[in-house]
Amino acid sequence: MSLKIQGFILIDVDVVALNNAGKSNSSNFDNAMATKKIYKNGKAYTYVSGQAWRYWWRDTLQKNYGWDLSPVIRDKKIAFTAANPITFADDDVFGYMKAAKEVKTDDQGEPVLSKGGKEQKVDVTVTRSSPLRNSAIISVAATRTVENWSSMARQEGDSVPYSKEEYSAVMKGMFSLDMGQVGTFASYNKTGFKNLTEKLRAEALAGGATELADPFVKDGKGNAHQLVQLPKEVRIQRMKDTIGALKTISGGAMQTNNMADVTPKFIVLATTTTGNHPFSHIAKNGGAYQENAELNIAGLEEVLTDYKEQLKGTVYIGKRNGFMDEYHEVLQALADKFDNVELCSVNQAIDQYCAQVENQVE
């Protein structure tokens, strides 16, 4: 059984422009920057792209958790990482695609030549679907942005004005981390499944990785293909680092003038047996103009009831004191009602959930 880590977060930001969309097409000013927004039911919602969130995440893992990030190789108009998930944890957790050919070598490491004397090449294309999947971070409620002036001004000369869109919002995001996929790789040739070259597979096994049968993919004779798996302690640490990074995650545009804390102020962490994310609607908009961010307590209780068979272990709900305090009592009542729910602070929820992960990894 491949378990999934399911996370849902809320961040609370004021006067920010976290993810810009380039030159504004709606401004009367030439030097105007638009923020990213999307429309639903006729209302505007600001958002941070999923790609930007992943950049924050990867950057935090490098700076706060000592991850040595996979180097980026650029070739004309394409770019790819080292595609080495054995050495680089970010290649493992965030995935990659590398389409390339390498010179074929013999047992002595010398290039194998064709009859015409040219070096023969072998296809070393590898892909890895990211075990970490995340949404965009989008405002829970409809958001009206404002266009404000700023200026580049120094001691001499005229100032150079520009404008940017700013907003305040409670924003939601969700993610999923496949526990069975972290640190486990396929080397057989199937589209989207070949994570390792033969050379890297051999290096991984020589370095302590082991093989196990793939329960889902078999060859033409009915024999299970073999997966390569890193030691258990390595896989656990990569998962714990990934979830733990949420405690200190930072990022976003305009932070020099619009600094904001983008760590979660509310978080739900749970382990499920299925890949669907059940917590997507536990925050909702409300009010006459759909501009109030609210917790959907009835929706959360419904998820805990309807998916009780898919939930494994404790569901940790973390809330920062001072954020949506009006929900504290009803959340505590919910935690008291369900044996598998615990309410605590955000960082306590992350730490206790990571401790639970240690016992859930096979």
pLDDT tens across 71-104, in order?
998 877 788 899 999 999 999 999 999 887 777 7
Which percentage of the chain shows pLDDT scores above 70? 99
**Which of 212, 216, 173, 176 minimizes the C-alpha distance to 193?**
216
DSSP letter for 26, please.
Answer: S
Q: What does the block give as tokens for 92? A: 């493992």
**Residue 31 scores a pLDDT above 80:** yes
* Whole-number Cα distances in Å, 361 to 3, 86, 96, 182, 226: 8, 18, 23, 10, 19
pLDDT at site 155: 83
Report the range of poorest mean pLDDT among 151-165, 223-237, 282-296, 342-356: 151-165
CA nearest neighbour of 334 among 271, 290, 285, 282: 282
* pTM of the predicted protein model: 0.91
Q: Of 180, 178, 179, 201, whose CA–CA distance to 189 is shortest?
A: 201
C-beta neighbour count of 18 within 10 angstroms:
28
Alpha-carbon distances, residue 240 vs 121, 247, 352 (angstroms): 40, 12, 11
**Two structure tokens written together for 156:** 């001499």
Helix (H, G, I), strand (E, B) or coil at 174: strand
The pLDDT of residue 133 is above 70: yes
What tens digit of pLDDT does each residue of 35-85 get? 999 999 999 999 999 999 999 999 999 999 999 999 998 877 788 899 999
Question: What is the predicted pLDDT for the residue at 191?
Answer: 64
- Helix or strand (DSSP H, E) at 167: strand 160-178
Please report, for residues 217, 218, 225, the alpha-carbon distance to residue 221 in angstroms, rounded to integers and kept in the order given: 11, 8, 11
Q: Cβ–Cβ contacts within 10 Å for residue 257, how many?
A: 11
Contacts of residue 313, defined as CB under 8 A and 6 or more positions apart, other chains included, come to 270, 271, 340, 356, 359, 360
User: In terms of Cα–Cα distance, which of 265, 256, 263, 244 is closest to 321?
Assistant: 265
What is the predicted pLDDT for the residue at 322?
Answer: 96
Per-residue exposure over 165-180, b if at least 16 CB sit within 10 Å of its own CB, e if not = bbbbbbbbbbbbbbbb
pLDDT tens, residue by residue, 243-287? 999 999 999 998 888 899 999 999 999 999 998 899 999 999 998
Tokens matching residue 33: 């920057």
What is the SS3 assignment for 209? coil
Q: Is the dihedral of CA 323, 139, 136, 276 positive or negative?
A: positive
DSSP at 111: B
pLDDT, tens digit, 9 for 90 and up, residues 193-250: 789 988 899 999 999 999 999 888 888 888 899 999 999 999 999 999 999 999 999 9
Domain limits of the chain? 4-95+130-183+230-359
Report DSSP state, residue 245: G
How far apart are alpha carbons 357 and 362 in whole angstroms? Answer: 10
- Percent of the chain surpassing pLDDT 90: 70
The pLDDT of residue 165 is above 70: yes
Check whether 151 has a pLDDT greater than 90.
no
The encoded tokens of residue 332 equal: 């505590």
The two most distant CA atoms of the chain are separated, in Å, by 79
Task: Write down the mean pLDDT value for the chain.
Answer: 92
Residue 221's pLDDT is what?
Answer: 86
Q: Categorize the per-residue pLDDT at 180 as very low, low, confident or very high, splitting at 50, 70 and 90.
A: very high
Helix (H) or strand (E) holding 166: strand 160-178
Of 91, 61, 85, the closest CA to residue 240 belongs to 61
> Is pLDDT at 189 greater than 90 in this prediction?
no
Please name the residue that has the structure tokens 């600094």. 259
110-129 residue pLDDT tens: 888 887 888 887 777 899 99
